[in-house]
Amino acid sequence: MSKYDIIILGSGPGGYVTAIRASQLGFKTAIVEKENLGGVCLNWGCIPTKALLKSAEVFDYLKHAEDYGLSLEKADKDFSKVIKRSRDVAGGMSKGVQFLMKKNKIDVIEGFGKLKSGKKVAVTDNKDKTTEYQADNIIVATGARSRELPNLKQDGKKIIGYREAMNLDKQPKSMIVVGSGAIGVEFAHFYNAMGTEVTVVEYLPNVVPLEDEEVSKQFERSIKKAGIKVMTNSSVESVDTSGKKVKAKVKTKKGEETLEADIVLSAVGIKTNIENIGLEDLKIKTEKDKIVVDDYYKTNVDGIYAIGDVVHGPALAHVASAEGILCVEKIKGMDVEALDYGNIPGCTYATPEIASVGMTEKQAKEAGYDLKIGKFPFSASGKAKAAGKSDGFVKVIFDAKYGEWLGCHMIGAGVTDMIAEAVLGRKLETTGHEVLKAVHPHPTMSEAVMEAVAAAYDEVIHI
């Protein structure tokens, strides 16, 4: 039986990054994958959606060429080519992981892995042949899939999840998106930009409900302006798929409404892949659909760890990777600090983009802080004006007493590439005045961070 120092189940951004770090640390490492290397993120999540959104952005520029003094006969699209480009990008990324595995001398074992007692993993391949492997340490990184609600059972055709949504043969004329988290609104934006009539139904009072309320409100205004119909405080009660069109009964504050569309996209969250992988046999604790782990991702069973979407914390690729790196560094005996879940950035890549880290204004108030808040609109930014993208703002939240940077919330073009400044600033316990004294380049969107901080301290220049 082949023996390893570390075997990892699942090759998403949790699994494959962990494998590389483990190999760097000198561990003999293997990774088990039942599908494509790179997991959801590279194949069905972060990357292919961003490829679709890039097509939407370019299409939008083409449609608005006149605004930039340019002319074009007619902006048009080929939906199947847009989808193909996204699939090709995903395929290329997965091949990249294959290369990284080889480069780092990591064995890739194809098949479905299951934990066995005695620190073994049984892998069943697509010919139903099962082989056992042994390891001193096993890390579960089996990720998650689209969550199904009982009244919104996905049939893959008329009621679909994210996988189908990024790989449709034909563009639907109309679509109901249930759920307005990042995944829901990214697809809503993509399909709306492509010309599909989109309605977003959100159960909570605000779209992108985890964001700062001001950001949610601005986002709702922007997507409505772009033509997306938004129904908040509303829930889809049932969907009738018997006819040519789907009919969704939606409960709103004003009563019941029936919406008709070609297709319903269910974007109501995720369900972890923790079934049939041997957790029960080994008596590994789970709670609320997650594997229970300590600060360094050890389960209640010696030598078995879990990271990524299968454990507590935000289900994000960068979180999965950071957890995996910490996990193997701890196994190596390194003196590592536990992950600060209060300083994880979250991004939504619709138009406008949203990026945030730390507390919202409401959370900071509830935590009892006395606040200094600054806001700078992109309408006052030279770079945003020049780009024709002046929707949105940067909002910063500081503790008035000690100057701690409690939160940063951005909405606008390119903000997902700007949030790292706040993450780093907060990690280094930077005060507002230190941000102000760090000269930002002109003209850039990032100046808006400096100006928002200046606004918090009544020193703003451009408003």
Smallest distance from the beta carbon of 111 to ligand FAD, in angstroms?
A: 7
Amino acid symbol at 91: G
Smallest distance from the beta carbon of 403 to ligand FAD, in angstroms?
A: 30
- Host H or E run for residue 82: helix 79-103
Smallest distance from the beta carbon of 50 to ligand FAD, in angstroms?
A: 7
Residue closer to ligand FAD, measured from CB, 9 or 230: 9
Query: What residue numbers does the annotated binding site for NAD(+) cover?
Result: 179-186, 202, 269
Report H helices in 172-313: 182-194, 213-225
Residue closer to ligand FAD, measured from CB, 330 or 375: 330
Binding mask 104-123 for ligand FAD (x = CB under 6 A): --------xx----------
Could you give the maximum distance between any two Cα atoms of the chain, in Å?
69
Query: What residue numbers does the annotated binding site for FAD cover?
Result: 50, 113, 309
Q: Locate 43 and state its tokens.
A: 């194949």
Q: Locate 448 and state its tokens.
A: 């808006």
Residue closer to ligand FAD, measured from CB, 321 or 430: 321
Interface with ligand FAD (CB under 6 A), residue from 4, 27, 162, 297: 162
**Between residue 423 and residue 442, which ones bind ligand FAD under the rule CB under 6 A?**
none
Residue closer to ligand FAD, measured from CB, 49 or 171: 49
Angle CA 55–57–63, to nearest 5: 100
Residue closer to ligand FAD, measured from CB, 415 or 435: 415
Interface with ligand FAD (CB under 6 A), residue from 5, 7, 23, 49: 49
CA torsion sign for 340, 342, 343, 344 is positive
Write the DSSP string, 330-342: HHTT---PPP-GG
User: Residue 65, Cβ neighbours under 10 Å: how many?
Assistant: 12
Backbone angles phi, psi at 410, to 5 degrees: -130, 145
Cα(159)–Cα(241) distance, rounded to whole angstroms?
8
> Which DSSP symbol is given to 68?
G
CA–chain centroid gap for 256, Å, is: 32
Candidates 64, 312, 442, 462; catalytic one: 442
Report H helices in 260-316: none
Query: Is-contact 82 170, C-beta < 8 A?
Result: no
**Cα distances (Å, whole numbers) of residue 343 to 212, 327, 334:** 15, 18, 22
Smallest distance from the beta carbon of 141 to ligand FAD, in angstroms?
A: 5
**Between residue 309 and residue 348, which ones bind ligand FAD under the rule CB under 6 A?**
309, 315-318, 320
273 binds ligand FAD (CB under 6 A): yes
Smallest distance from the beta carbon of 349 to ligand FAD, in angstroms?
A: 6
Query: What residue numbers does the annotated binding site cover?
Result: 50, 113, 179-186, 202, 269, 309
Interface with ligand FAD (CB under 6 A), residue from 25, 35, 63, 292: 35
> Which DSSP symbol is given to 408?
E
Smallest distance from the beta carbon of 450 to ligand FAD, in angstroms?
A: 26
Residue closer to ligand FAD, measured from CB, 230 or 317: 317
Binding mask 367-396 for ligand FAD (x = CB under 6 A): ------------------------------
**Bridge partners, 396 (sequence order):** 374, 408
Angle CA 207–213–218, to nearest 5: 70
**Bridge partners, 160 (sequence order):** 265
Smallest distance from the beta carbon of 185 to ligand FAD, in angstroms?
A: 11
Count of residues of this chain found to bind ligand FAD when the rule CB under 6 A is applied: 34
**Between residue 5 and residue 34, which ones bind ligand FAD under the rule CB under 6 A?**
9-15, 32-34
Interface with ligand FAD (CB under 6 A), residue from 51, 115, 144, 230: 144
Smallest distance from the beta carbon of 39 to ligand FAD, in angstroms?
A: 3
Output the residue with the shortest Cβ distance to ligand FAD: 143
Q: Which stretch binds ligand FAD (CB under 6 A): 137-145, 294-302, 362-370, 399-407?
A: 137-145
Amino acid symbol at 72: L
Residue recorded with tokens 């098949």 = 111
Cis upstream peptide for 205 (omega within 30°): no
Query: Is-contact 355 366, C-beta < 8 A?
Result: no
64 is catalytic: no
Residue closer to ligand FAD, measured from CB, 127 or 244: 127
Interface with ligand FAD (CB under 6 A), residue from 7, 39, 207, 284: 39
Strand ranges, E, within 16-96: 29-33
Residue closer to ligand FAD, measured from CB, 37 or 445: 37
Write the DSSP string, 98-133: HHHHHHTTPEEEESEEEEETTTEEEEE-TTS-EEEE
Residues recognised as catalytic: 442
User: Which residues make up the interface to ligand FAD (CB under 6 A)?
Assistant: 9-15, 32-35, 39-41, 45-46, 49, 112-113, 141-144, 162, 183, 273, 277, 308-309, 315-318, 320
